Structures are given as C-alpha cells and as structure tokens.
Structure 1
Amino acid sequence: MKVELGFGNTTQTVRIRDEKLQDILLPNAVPHGLTGAAEVRRALREPIASRPLREIVRPGEKIAVITSDITRPLPTWEIMPELLEELYAAGIGSGDITLVFALGSHRLHTEKEKRKLAGKRAYEEIACIDGDINDCVHLGVTSRGTPVDIVRAVAKADRRICLGNIEYHYFAGYSGGAKAIMPGVSTRAAIQANHSMMTEPLACAGNMKENPIREDIEEAAAICGVDFILNVVLDEHKKIICAVAGDVTEAHRAGCTFLDTLYEKKIKEPADIVIVSQGGAPKDMNLYQTQKALDNAKHAVRDGGIIILAGSCREGLGERTFEEWMTEASKPEELIERVRRDFKLGGHKAAAIAMVLEKAEIYLVSELEPAFVETLFMTPFDNVQAAYETADAKLGGRGREATVLVMPYGGSTLPRVLSPVLQEKLSEHTGA
C-alpha cells in the first residue's frame, strides 16, 4: 500500500505491506449537499437559534468581523463576499465594517498575507486589520478568574460577528465558535489564565461536557458579546462542506455534531506505529502548529509505540516561549513539572509534547536540522519512508509484525478506541 501525506506545499509517500496496515484514518463518507460559497449562503439564510443577520444589524452601526489568522485553514476569502452581501443588504456601509484577524499569541501578518486571507473584494472594500493585543479594553472577569481583555476594535464595535473553522482541539474540545474571542482577540495574560486549565481531565479533544476551558471561553464571549457566528467544516481538501450560522453556542454545537460524523474514527485497538501528518500547509508551518496532529495521534498508539510525525516546520518552532521551554529542558519530565508549577502560554505545548513522550517515541520528519531535532527529544528524519522502516525494524521482528495506523489529516481526525462491549457487538455482527 502506498500512502500519500501532505508535507508543507508538497507531499511525502510511504509504502506499507498490506498485512501490517491496520487502517488509514480518512474522513468518513458523509452525505452533504451544497459546498463552498453556496453552502455559506444557505447557512446565512437558515440561521440556528437566531434571527437572520440582516435583521440583527442596523445602518450606521460599527461591525467587527473576527476571523482566523494565517495559521488556520479557514477560507475567509470565500466566506467574506457572502457575508458582505448580507451586511450590505441590511444597509451597512463598507466604511462601517472592519475585518479583524484574530492573532491570539501568533505573529502579525504582512499586507500581502492580509490580502490573501481577506480576499480581493474584502481587502479593497473594508478595513482589514490585525487584532492589537496591546490596545485592549477590560470588560470583566470570568467566574474562573480569567480577565476579559478584548482588542479595542472588537470591544468597541456595535456588533460582533465571529468566523471560524470547526475541528478538534486538544483541550478546548473543538475549535470555532467563541474561540474567535478567547483566545482570538484576547491578551496574552487572558489566554494564559484560560489555557492554564489544560491539565484538567475533562479538557480534551472532542469533549464539551463540563470542559472547563470551553466553559470559560464561552463565558468570556458572553461578557464581550457575540451577535452572530458563521463557522464552517472543511473536508480533507480544505473545501467547505458544511456551514453553520447564528447563535454563538447553538450554531457551534450543530457544527461540532457534523464534524463528529466526518472525522471521529473508531479503532479496535491502538497500533504499534502511528504515522501522522497535519495535511500540509499552512497547518504544518511550524512545530507549534504541527503539535496538534501529534496530540490526536497519541490516542491511536499503544504504550511503548512510535509516532511518526510529518510536518514541514519550515518556520521553525513558531513561538518564543515554546521554543525556550523546548530548548532549555534537559529531559521531557522537566516540561511537565514546569507547566504544573508555573503555567506559561507557549510552554503548555512543550508540556503537551512531553506528555506524549511519556507514552511513545516521536520520530519527526521535518525540514529542521537533525541535530536540533535531537535536542527536542525526538528522532529526526527527512522522509517518512525512512522513519517508517526504522520504526518497523525496531518494533517488529521475532515473528511479530508491527501494526501501523496512518492519519493523513491528523489535526482533524480524532481516533477513539472502541469499548470492549462495542467491539463484541461488532464482532457478532460481522462474524469476526
């Protein structure tokens, strides 16, 4: 079997003998109707738990549209023309609309990047700005003590519309929804306070019930106020196949339900080797972003197994504190101890990698210098095939075949091991 994986703006391939391949975790075949801009138009016409947007906004109001930055695959350029038509139909002037890129803790954009993200029409018709976390308005504090300090351009707007892409998030449960506000246009201190709850058991991928981080995010958004959301779910080719619009919570939950039908993958048992990719650019531009695929892969690998993580990481580690923590530690255990003792945003992803290393080895296929990768407690490779052959030789042998799972879209795909009861039922049904 020849399997292709996204790697930066290119691909890598790996050949695996059929008898060793346990599964390739591709998106489920889910029937869907409209796609792209047509699906966005449909969602705007059929808002969930909300009046249509054109009945909410009023002429003369200042509208802030909060959207994702360049590290996210959200096709803002495809969404904005439909959203602008809706706003213009309500009598909103182009001079009263500002598109705010939610940076969170990420870097500023170049003007070229802003134009690409916004799309030609939005870039030329309305103001397109990066959220300035150094110019925020204090709106309150959540019940968990997180300060609600929001970028001024958003806080002072009369109406706030949040865009987003819904996928699994390793401690907020899912991306999208109120995450455009927290952490999107929040201060570093606010994000740190919220993310400090990441070590709590219910703060995990695919979980909304009593997830402390998601609850805190939505409380912050309620304090700030969100008038409308427009979120999408993308297929493995980054095409819009589902859009949800309306209430910040109810519409978001509808999108999460659809995502589960698409990307939740049931597996009978963990594999010896898991090969995982983010799916290529822009989601593997640095290790900080590529880590998301690694965290999903940990649910599919057995204790003592090997995860082969394929990501270009052409921009390096991607975040200053993350880099400091990764390069200063002498062993992975120090990172876990450090995050428990002194939580720092950025450092939290270093600790997350260390927690994976407690369970499995990590072979990193990247454009990073091999000697540098070794200082990050991972084994470096420049191609997936070589990494797989090394892992297979280590875990196979003595008459035992090392099993393999492949996750070509690891940042989106969430493996779940079937319960013993469900496995028994499936076996009865299939006669296995």
Structure 2
Amino acid sequence: MDANTVSLSYGRGHLQLDLPAKARPMLIRKQPLAKIADPHAAIAEALENPVNACSLAALSKGRKSACILICDITRPVPNRLFLQPMIRTMSQAGIPLANISVLIATGLHRPNLGDELAELVGDPWVLQNVRVENHFARNDAAHVDLGHTPTRNTPVKIDRLFADADLRIATGLVEPHFMAGWSGGRKVIAPGVAHHETIRTFHSARFMEDPLAVQCNLVGNPLHEEQLEIVRMLGEVYALNTVIDEDRDLVCVTFGDIIASHQAAVDFVGASTHIATPRKFATVVTSSAGYPLDKTYYQTIKGMVTPLDILAPGGTLIIASECSEGFGSEEFREAQARLVELGPDRFLATLTAKSLAEIDEWQTEMQLKPMRVGRVELYTTGLSEDDRRLTAVTMIDDIKAAVERSIIRSGDDAVAIIPEGPYVVPRHVAPDERRTADA
C-alpha cells in the first residue's frame, strides 16, 4: 500500500483513503497486543482463578438464582465465547437453568431484538436454555430503589432482575470511554441497568463539564466515583471483563470482584491505548471505530471527542462514520435541533442549571467539546439530508479533498490518521515532558 493510502474502520469493513501528495501522514494506532491463542482456555482459567474472589463454581454453590449482564449491540463484546461456559458452570454448581437470566444493559438505548439479539448473544444454546431480557430504564416498576449516593446525592434505582439475583455478574468490554474514563465493569451496571432518573442525574452538566470526566481517567472522575458508590450500595457483585484488538480478537480476560477485576483489565490495556505524539495537528482524520459503534450519529460523537488533545486550536477534525442505522433516538434528535437553533453557547446555558438532564442531550453536550477547539467535518453514507443538517457539523463527500483544504487553510501538511477512532487515545507530549518521563 502506498505511503499516502490509509485504511479507516468503517461499517463492517474499511474505507480506503488516498491522501493528497503533499500530506505528511502520521498513523496513530494502539500498541500491538498478543492475541490469546486459545480464548476458551483463557476464559476457563479466569473463571477458575479470579481477581479477589473465589472461582465461579465456588461462588455459584448454594445460590438460588443468577443474573449476567451483557452490553447492548453498540459494543463488540465476544459474548459467544464466555456466556455458555459461565452458565454451564453455574448450572453444574446447582443453580437451575430456569433461574439464570441474561440481562442486556441497554441504559437508555433501544432494545436488541430478533436477529440482532441472536447476533449479540452469539450462541443459540444460551437463547434456548436461559431467560434473555432487555433492560428498560423507563419502566418504574422494574427497578429497586436503593436510596441516594452519599457524596453527590444521585438517586439509585437498579433493574430488579439484577438487584434481586443471588449471584450478580456484569460482563463487558474495557475500552476508553469519553466520559467515564473506561467502559466495562461498574459502567455496565450504571448506566447499563439503571433507572432513567439515575442515568439522567449523573449525565447532567455538573458531571459532564467536570474537566476530569474524560477518557482514560479514573482519578477524580465524578462519573467513575459515582458508579463505584452505586456498586457499593448494591453489594456483592462480580464481573468478567474483556479486551479485544482491531481484529476483534480477544487479548485479555479477567474475572472476579467487579472493581478489582475491572482495574486489572484497565492496567493491562492502558499503556497500549494511550499513544504519545510529539506535536498537535491542524488536520486530524479519524473514524468511529466501525461496526457496531458507527451504527448511529449518536455514537459517532465519541470519535470526535477522543482525539482532542492532539487537535491544534482552530484545526480541522475529519471523521468517517457509516451511520448505517441513522441518527439515534428522538430525544437526541431534539437536542441536536436545539443546538442548531440556539448555537453552542446558548445551548450549554440551558443545561447548566439542570439537576436532571433530558435524555440523550448529554451526547450533544459532548459534541460541544470538539466544536470549541476547531472545525468538525463528517463523511458518512448513512444519513438523510434532514439528519445531516441536525449534525451541526460540516458534511463532506470526499475526505481527500477535505484534507487538502485543511492543509491549505492551516499551511501545515502534517496529518494525524487514527484508523480505529475512539479505541485509541492520542496524547500530545512535549519533548521536555518526554525527557522528564524517560529520566
């Protein structure tokens, strides 16, 4: 492949991009991680030797029921690898299959049904042998009220199917998250299976505008701290955490205490995900990480926020996202319409006084971050003309031409290319900082 030809994750495949001849590209990828040669053996080992917990077989003895949380379709979690062995272990330890449930942690996203549900679970045996349900955050009767968090007074209501189970296990994917630091672990519970009031409280502006509520940061991050308090209020909970590479192959799996096992996975993937760059760029080209994260414009915003540390003020951020499913929820559409009508400053002013955010307006609030830094341009094949207008960003039909225009505007021919979008977190590290770190 030519030095000025790059491949971006896009939909279920890749988008080939020929850069202008004058461009000097810098490719930014995660540090390579070794694939696990035998994923089934690695999962069995994790279940037998957990982090800060007994084995799953021992944990299952004497329990009358169990509930396993899985992420919704927006996360490429390899559920097909671990659900059946987990369920069989529980069953062999004495929990009846009829009392084992799999709950899809939809948060406030739509349910996953039909063929999509089969794709998500990835194992017909699971669908045939245990109860599989979607979480519905707006169903008041389906939640248990645990009171309020002690520090920030967030109302805590959790799906009854999970809260009432004897054995509770969250499963998920550990990857950078643009608000909560890292996905997986405690995040699968809240917002995953939390009531809409819980979700809307810690997605309000007092959390979202906190400078520590950013990707790859857990220290002082108010969302992470609130999620930990919710876990402690819930009581005994375990987690199985996975890390995958660009090919969606397993590179790490941990099981055990929900906080400790999640931290172990974060420790494993953190260094490979944070990529230092010696400069900022006036042109950054990225993606929304391909399917399933680029199914909607709602999810695409994550890819706009992650590379901001290397975008020069006034620079151009170009993002490619298929948006095969369109825009997102009606609530998100309404928030974007308000942004278009009011402009960024007036829109933000409508949020800061609220203690309870409107559903999905927090994603529009996150879009304000790249808009404050520079120009955002979107390449997509999945949005209607009305949807394109509501993005409030510049639409482009030719990425190569957009890169060329950006180079001309800035007078800088260096271009940062991030093929895997929000799964990679580039960070500008000045030369003097590098020397200090190496000393």
Question: Does the pair score TM above 0.5?
Answer: yes
State the match for 1:171 in structure 2.
179
1:147–1:190 contact (8 Å) kept in structure 2: yes
In the alignment, structure 1 residue 333 sits paired with structure 2 residue 345: yes
Which blocks of at least 5 consecutive residues in structure 2 are unaligned? none
CA RMSD of aligned residues (A): 2.1
In the alignment, structure 1 residue 62 sits paired with structure 2 residue 74: no
* Aligned equivalents of 1:376, 1:333: Cα separation in 2: 16
1:44–1:52 contact (8 Å) kept in structure 2: yes
2:289–2:423 contact (8 Å) kept in structure 1: no
* Aligned equivalents of 2:244, 2:323: Cα separation in 1: 22
State the match for 1:394 in structure 2.
409
1:336–1:355 contact (8 Å) kept in structure 2: no
* Aligned equivalents of 2:159, 2:124: Cα separation in 1: 25
Distance 1:35 1:270, change over 3 A: farther
One-letter amino acid of the counterpart of residue 169, structure 2: I
1:148-179: CA deviations, max 9, x gaps?
11111111111111101001111211111111
Larger mean CA deviation between 149-158 and 37-46 belongs to: 37-46
Of residues 81, 85, 88 in structure 2, which corresponds to 1:82?
85
1:273–1:391 contact (8 Å) kept in structure 2: yes
Q: Shift of residue 22 of structure 1?
A: 4.5
* Aligned equivalents of 1:201, 1:115: Cα separation in 2: 39
1:77–1:120 contact (8 Å) kept in structure 2: no
Q: Shift of residue 300 of structure 1?
A: 1.9
* Aligned equivalents of 1:416, 1:215: Cα separation in 2: 24
* Aligned equivalents of 1:95, 1:412: Cα separation in 2: 37
In the alignment, structure 1 residue 120 sits paired with structure 2 residue 128: no
Task: Say which SS state the counterpart of residue 45 (structure 2) adopts.
Answer: helix
Task: Say which SS state the counterpart of residue 161 (structure 1) adopts.
Answer: strand
1:275–1:308 contact (8 Å) kept in structure 2: yes
1:23–1:405 contact (8 Å) kept in structure 2: yes
State the match for 1:353 in structure 2.
367
In the alignment, structure 1 residue 305 sits paired with structure 2 residue 308: no
In the alignment, structure 1 residue 109 sits paired with structure 2 residue 112: yes
2:175–2:243 contact (8 Å) kept in structure 1: yes
User: How high is the sequence identity, in percent, across the aligned residues?
Assistant: 26
Of residues 397, 418, 423 in structure 2, which corresponds to 1:412?
423
* Aligned equivalents of 2:312, 2:38: Cα separation in 1: 37
Distance 1:36 1:334, change over 3 A: farther
1:270-311: CA deviations, max 9, x gaps?
111111112211100101111111110212211000000110
Distance 1:282 1:226, change over 3 A: farther
Larger mean CA deviation between 65-74 and 194-203 belongs to: 194-203
Of residues 257, 262, 281 in structure 2, which corresponds to 1:271?
281
Paired residues for 1:237-386 under 5 Å? 237-329=247-339, 330=341, 331-342=343-354, 343-366=357-380, 367-370=382-385, 372-386=387-401
Aligned residues: 424
Q: Shift of residue 34 of structure 1?
A: 4.1
* Aligned equivalents of 2:432, 2:410: Cα separation in 1: 29
* Aligned equivalents of 1:147, 1:285: Cα separation in 2: 31
1:230–1:243 contact (8 Å) kept in structure 2: yes
* Aligned equivalents of 1:324, 1:296: Cα separation in 2: 24
1:370–1:381 contact (8 Å) kept in structure 2: no
2:289–2:419 contact (8 Å) kept in structure 1: yes
Q: Shift of residue 370 of structure 1?
A: 4.9
Q: Shift of residue 25 of structure 1?
A: 1.2
One-letter amino acid of the counterpart of residue 133, structure 2: I
TM-score by length of 1: 0.93
In the alignment, structure 1 residue 139 sits paired with structure 2 residue 141: no
Larger mean CA deviation between 142-151 and 378-387 belongs to: 378-387
1:35–1:241 contact (8 Å) kept in structure 2: no
* Aligned equivalents of 1:36, 1:339: Cα separation in 2: 45
Of residues 45, 49, 52 in structure 2, which corresponds to 1:49?
52
